[in-house]
Amino acid sequence: MEINDKLEQYYSKDLIKINILLNKIDNLKYEVEHGDTHFLCDISGVCEVEKVDDDADCDIGSCFFCGTELRRVNDDWYHNTAFDDNYHLIDSSYQTHNYMGSKAGQPRSVEERNLEDVEDELNKYNKLKIKQFALFGNPVSHSESPRIYNRLFVEKESLSSYVAKEVNGIRDIANQINNFDAVNITYPFKEVATNIVDDLTYYAEVTSSVNLIKKDGRKLIGYNTDGIGFSNTIDKLNQRILIIGAGSTAKVSAIVLKENGHSVYIVNRSQKNLEFFKEYGIHTFLSKNMPIEKFDIIVNMTNAGLEDNELPLEKEKLIELIKLSSKGIDLIYNKKTPFLALFEEYGKEYEDGKRMLLSQAIENMKIFFK
């Protein structure tokens, strides 16, 4: 996935410049600590000749102020390491006493001076606000989101941070949201979080759920990018897709998939929430009445397997569906769930939810920096 091309337009030149300077500072710090250091002294014209070297084309001396050992060639003084074993000048970049810096009298290296210059340039941006983003949910300690977003920020040289925050309810979300430029909302708060926003965008409104809230002036705007994030991971057109589960992610994903030309079917253990899908012309089944049919993709959008060994459907029925299917996707990531293990057992293609997480992050970043 080409991250840079998709996000290029969403970053200010100032943020890019700051990160270039930060990278340059890191490199200079390494040079100061580990490099072949070139010394300079801020005091000009206070070298004294200790003796004339009859065997070389230079005079031996030292800085009266800092004591640095020097040799003079054609009236210019150079650090001793600028000469070879036969005292021939081989590196004129080690010249001393020709730089009048801001800290007169302190012998420093060229690298130290360059570092100071870059740090001074960086200080011009010290009033620029660092953008801060977060994930609100419970639990969130397992989440890969901070690693993914912070990697994207680095790749785009954006001066931003992303953290996962465990919250205890809607009041907790309302109290903390103003500390961030935008927040992602995850289980179990996607529906209740709609109560604290001022406006909802289309997918958030039709599903009554949000996975992103962004400040726009004094308003809070609610978005739902789950559907677009998932749909972008479906590589082929006109797929026949069975979604297991009828929660908020299934709702928005089903709508977007149908809009993109796929045939979408929903199966759920209870009748609750199935009426929503019927309003959008999406086929629905109760688990107990699910017919054995061929699907291109079967998707688990339930929590079955997240913290247990449960399957989202009765095992025998699921096995028969898998035998006829081409691929399985589980939105749970970083583990092979029992659902995915069955696809592996029957030699079928499968993947966890990590690709959706990245796809969704890219969609969210467009909103973060719009």
What are the catalytic residues? 190
Exposure b/e, 126-153, CB count within 10 A at least 16 = b? eeeeebebbbbbeebeebbbbebbbebb
Contact between residue 36 and residue 188 where contact means Cβ atoms under 8 Å apart: no
